Amino acid sequence: MRKNNSSKVLLWLVAIGFFMQTLDTTIVNTAIPSMAKSLGESPLHMQAVVVSYALVMAILTPASGWLSDKFGTRKIYLLSISLFTLGSFFCASSQTLNQLIASRVIQGVGGAMLQPVGRLVVLKAFPREQFLKAMSFVSIPGLIGPLLGPTLGGWLSQSFSWHWIFLINIPVGLIGFILTSVYMSDFKLKNVDKFDISGFLMIAFGMLAVSSALDGMVELGMRIVTAILFTFVGLVMITCYWLYALRRKNVLFPRTLFNVTTYRVGILGNFFARIGINGSPFLLPLFFQVGLGYSPIKSGLMMLPAAISGMLAKKVGVKLISKSGYRKTLIGNTILQGIILVGFVFVSNTSSFWILFVLLFLMGGANSLQFTAMNTITLKDLSDKQSSSGTSLLSMIMIFSMSLGVAVAAALLALFNNVAEEKQYENQLFAFHASFVGVGLITAITSVIFAQLPRKESVGNNS
């Protein structure tokens, strides 16, 4: 595709879809108390509002690639925007908790297809030499969404009402629907294999069980025996799928995907690196408001350096990857991200404001570079036949690792908070500092996965 107005609008469409999907993953968190009061429920009973959205997305994402191949990318993207927008309207109109949960399920069905279908369109619409630059552009809004979500949700619910965290999606969705109808390419395959319903159910139940166990242990007080049982069942189902895939040709995620070295390493790197990285959007709003005593508005303003540097890093990141290659870039940047997260131990009520500013600025740029490089290296060597299933699996891994990242960060925070109470530490920031060290070490150690990339990897001319 040539660089014209249509291609630019296409990139904006995909970028906005990324932003909407990732924003609504976190925007509800800080609005839960207001929502609970309005619906006459206890905040402790509202967790299903968050969990239902994330789980539906993770479960349905694997089907997005097959749907795109069968019915065309434009039709499925229009369907996803329609369901997401309709679900947002129903969420804002909900009068009871059960209505809100059901509406979030509809919203999650639409959100499950926004990222993978959008990424698939970019992969098919742009030649490989332009793919890095294109992915760099569309990845930025997906990075900003989780950073701004908790703060934006708190501000809207405090200044207006919780309904606006859903109502803001409606005009964006309507504009997106119109522009998609005009500008989005419609890619589909002529001969599409029958949908692998058995493999889909194995993957779906596996993710559902593992996610339920982790969320239950951290947020719902699930008994440890039940959580272990759920985790065991989930791992068994996922293992069954891979054994099943080894002896069949037409499966949800063909084993030939993992014959591509860059895809194999990229998928594993995405999964484990994001577990550590995705802990920061959960920890930072709590750190600012509970640890440092910031107001919701000030907490939101503190995320601006990360958002700005993330956008500025777009062009710099492309040039750095083109010069240094994916392997060196990902190894160095993954370690840098770990160091930045550990660096938050130097932030306290008495420390200089500029320490926090620099850390947030560096974090935003490093995240932008990381996500662009990881996503591009994972997909760039796939054939046209592999692209649909490959992008679906990547999107599933991203959503799944997001929930795991939040669960790990929450577990670390709870653990170190208990330690602080037992040891009677006067420093209230101990639990936060220790948690940042934990997620930082998890992030940095995943650099060894990216070391498995070929030393001489073709990047292409992205000028």
- What is the average pLDDT across 327-334? 95
Q: How far apart are CA 354 and CA 97, in angstroms?
A: 43
pLDDT band for 2, please (50, 70, 90 cuts).
very low
Q: How far apart are CA 240 and CA 312, in angstroms?
A: 44
pLDDT band for 359, please (50, 70, 90 cuts).
very high
Q: What is the pLDDT of residue 357?
A: 93
- What is the average pLDDT across 389-405? 82
Q: How far apart are CA 391 and CA 382, in angstroms?
A: 9
pLDDT tens by residue, 275-315: 889 888 778 877 887 888 887 677 777 878 887 888 788 77
Q: What is the pLDDT of residue 337?
A: 96
pLDDT tens by residue, 172-226: 899 989 988 888 878 877 777 788 888 888 888 888 787 777 666 555 555 666 7
Q: Tell whether the model's pLDDT for residue 358 goes beyond 70.
A: yes
DSSP 8-state class, residue 27: T
Neighbours of 33 (CB within 10 A): 13
- What is the average pLDDT across 41-63? 76
Q: How far apart are CA 48 and CA 382, in angstroms?
A: 37
Burial of 123: CB neighbours in 10 Å, binned 0-12, 13-18, 19+: buried
Are 75 and 180 in contact, with CB atoms under 8 Å apart? no
Q: Return mean pLDDT, the chain.
A: 83
Q: Tell whether the model's pLDDT for residue 443 goes beyond 90.
A: yes
Q: How far apart are CA 320 and CA 176, in angstroms?
A: 32
